[in-house]
Amino acid sequence: MKIFLLLIPLWASAQSHDIYVHMMPWFETKETNGGTWGIHWTMANRNPDNIIDGKQDIASFYHPEIGAYASADPNVIDWQMGYMKTAGIKGIFLDWPGTTQAMDYPKNRENCEAIIAGTERAGLQFAVVYEDNNLNLAGVPDKIAQGTADMQYLQDNYFSKSNYVKVNGAPLLLDFGPQALFDANWDAIFTPLNPKPTFLTLWNQHQQGGSMVAGEYAWVYSNFLDGLNNWLVH
């Protein structure tokens, strides 16, 4: 099984493969973030209020056509989904923070759910890219318990949706890692799931994905395409 992730595949409708966009849900404006721009627009030293060469000063090499936006804005979401559908994109792989009550994770999860509602309106599919590293960043003491709670949430709220991506009859679940959960940890947190997901790790890391790992997916690394030498495909 091969999964292709591209950033802005405007030529998607001309391709024979299903094309999915890996989407981040963590952008906030002053209106949605208590009067300050979200960290993913500013990072350490950017200010979208400043205009440089006709563009907002944001922490990105690229500038949205609609300017810096809030990820949960329904008008933004409908514009994004319509843009993707017009391009022939099949759906999105949504970076999902889990249910840990720390930092901006709850807000990111709310944004995810607004985006998921947008995929339903647009007739697009979606699947989750789990951020297990958030368990490290939040200092979660019992990663197995929290990971299990996250998987239960996915099953209760997302996996049963008609537009959730299924592979071989099972919900597709990707992990951006592993970085916090390894090997048998995944078997443990998948215990409440029925059916078990079709589970993919980042390339070069399938050996850390437990007994139910089904393959890997590609990501842009500084070593370019060296990971293809070890890409596990089922």
**pLDDT at residue 220, as a whole number:** 77
**pLDDT at residue 6, as a whole number:** 46
Asked if 91 contacts 124 with a C-beta cutoff of 8 angstroms, the reply is yes
**pLDDT at residue 218, as a whole number:** 85
What is the pTM (predicted TM-score) of this model? 0.90
**pLDDT at residue 222, as a whole number:** 72
Domains in the chain: how many in total? 1
Long-range contacts of 154-158 (CB under 8 A, 24+ apart): 154/96, 154/128, 154/130, 155/192, 155/193, 155/194, 157/113, 158/116, 158/128
3-state helix, strand, coil in the chain (%, to 5): 30, 20, 50
Tokens, residue 169: 């009859």
Q: Distance (Å, rounded) from C-alpha 144 to C-alpha 100?
A: 12
Sign of CA dihedral 217, 221, 224, 230: negative
Residue 34 lies in a domain: no
Reported as a single tens digit per residue, the pLDDT across 8-21 is 445 555 567 899 99
Residue 182 lies in a domain: yes
| 72: exposed, middle or buried (Cβ count in 10 Å: 0-12, 13-18, 19+) | buried
In the chain, where do the E strands start and end?
Answer: 20-23, 51-52, 55-56, 91-96, 125-130, 166-167, 170-175, 198-202, 213-217
Residue 176 lies in a domain: yes
Residue 31 lies in a domain: no
Residue 48 lies in a domain: no
CA-atom Rg of the chain in angstroms: 18
Residue 36 lies in a domain: no
Residues of the chain with pLDDT under 70: 1-15, 223-234
| 60: exposed, middle or buried (Cβ count in 10 Å: 0-12, 13-18, 19+) | middle
**pLDDT at residue 3, as a whole number:** 45
Domain that holds residue 172: 12-26+71-230
Residue 2 lies in a domain: no
CATH of the domain at 91: 3.20.20.80
Residue 112 lies in a domain: yes
* Residue 154, φ and ψ in degrees, nearest 5: -60, -45
